[in-house]
Amino acid sequence: MTTINFTDLAIFMLILAPCMGFICYFLGKRKTSNPIRTAIFGFFSGFIPPIGLIYLLILVFKHDLPSAQSNV
């Protein structure tokens, strides 16, 4: 039986949280009107991986914002 010690868990969270923030920021730029808030929530949801995964899936399946159309 293997055990997960606190150091390994902390390192995993310290790697996952910035990755989640980075990914959520770029998804938030396309899919929300406030990508900074999306990135911050994604960063903090990275500390609880199941919630982070659910949040990331919600962002992935959300429809893109309509792009600004110019009449040039």
Q: What is the mean pLDDT of residues 42-67?
A: 92
> Is position 17 within any domain?
yes
Give the chain's domain count. Answer: 1
> Is position 8 within any domain?
no
Consecutive H or E run containing 37: helix 35-45
Q: What is the mean pLDDT of residues 28-49?
A: 93
Confidence of residue 71 (pLDDT cuts 50, 70, 90): low
DSSP state of 67: P
The answer to whether residue 30 scores a pLDDT higher than 70 is: yes
pLDDT score, position 36: 95
Range of the domain at 56: 13-61
The set of residues, in sequence order, having a beta carbon less than 8 Å from that of 20 and lying 6+ positions away, is 42, 43, 45, 46, 52, 55, 56
The answer to whether residue 11 scores a pLDDT higher than 80 is: yes
- Do residues 56 and 20 touch, judged by C-beta distance below 8 A? yes
